[in-house]
């Protein structure tokens, strides 16, 4: 049986005095999820908005991805299909502070 679905993802970036914030919104039929991320520029570093945007957006997308995996694992259908949910730890933050 084939299945086709279309999900809409919107990414919003906001810059505010050396901090870039991101929100990613997913609309997937009856499910709506939001992921958030931020990146702070060290005052001693050159402010490169593109880097802050990439970091904040990536962190927001990682948060959204964790929510999707958790939602899938929590579904009763997962166990009904003969698979078991596995716990996954969030990766530790490396690099720039969030």
The verdict on pTM exceeding 0.75 is no
Residue 25: strand pairing partners: 10, 34
Select the CATH number that applies to the domain covering 8-80 from these four: 3.20.20.140, 3.30.497.10, 3.60.20.10, 3.30.160.240. 3.30.160.240
What is the pLDDT, as a whole number, of residue 76? 55
Structure confidence at residue 45 (pLDDT): 87
Position 79 scores a pLDDT of: 62
> What tens digit of pLDDT does each residue of 46-69 get?
888 899 999 999 999 999 999 999
Question: pLDDT digit of tens for each residue in the chain (98 aa)?
Answer: 898 999 999 999 999 888 999 999 999 888 899 999 999 988 898 888 899 999 999 999 999 999 999 988 887 555 666 655 555 455 544 444 55
Cβ atoms < 10 Å from Cβ of 98: 12
Segment holding 72, helix H or strand E: helix 49-74
CB-based contacts of 62: which residues, under 8 Å, 6+ apart? 35, 37, 91
Identify the pLDDT of residue 95: 47
pLDDT at residue 74, as a whole number = 84
Listing DSSP states for 3-54 in one string gives: -----EEEEEEEEETTEEEEEEEEEETTEEEEEEEEEE--TTS---HHHHHH
């Amino acid at each position: 049986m084939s299945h086709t679905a279309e999900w809409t993802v919107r990414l919003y970036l906001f810059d505010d005095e050396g901090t870039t914030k991101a929100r990613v919104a997913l609309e997937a039929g009856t499910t709506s999820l939001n992921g958030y991320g931020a990146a702070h520029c060290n005052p001693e570093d050159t402010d490169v908005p593109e880097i802050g945007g990439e970091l904040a957006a990536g962190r927001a997308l990682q948060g959204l991805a964790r929510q999707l995996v958790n939602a899938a694992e929590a579904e009763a259908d997962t166990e009904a299909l003969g698979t078991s949910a596995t716990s996954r730890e969030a990766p530790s933050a490396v690099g720039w502070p969030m």
